[in-house]
Structure 1
Amino acid sequence: MPEVSLASLDELFWARVITFLVKMGLQSPERANMLRGWKHSGFNIHRS
């Protein structure tokens, strides 16, 4: 199985969730565009 960048999968998932929320009327297109512009700080609370 080829290696896949998890960052790419994360971006795809995030885009699909935002699109779904707009289609369902749960999020405005304006808010969705704002969310798409957010950059992840890299901080997380997972222990490895």
Structure 2
Amino acid sequence: MIDIQTLLIWVIPVLFAITVHETAHGWVASKLGDHTARMMGRLTLNPI
């Protein structure tokens, strides 16, 4: 059975990695001329 410590060791880095990955998608799109993510306020490292 998975304990809370193991769960946190996996969830926190995965959440951080997904956040950085998706922010990078928006940043690259913005640099290539699609400013939709910037206009919608999605170029942030806030996962919420």
Query: TM-score by structure 1 length?
Result: 0.53
Task: Give 5+ residue unaligned stretches, structure 2.
Answer: 1-8
Larger helix proportion, structure 1 or 2?
Answer: 2
- The structure 1 segments of at least 4 consecutive aligned residues displaced by more than 6 Å after TM superposition are none
The total of aligned residue pairs comes to 34
What is residue 19 of structure 1 aligned with on the other side?
A: 27
Task: Give 5+ residue unaligned stretches, structure 1.
Answer: 41-48
Identity of aligned residues (%): 15
Structure having greater relative contact order (Cα 8 Å, sep ≥ 6): 2
CA distance in 2, matches of 1:17, 1:6: 17
Rg larger in 1 or in 2? 2
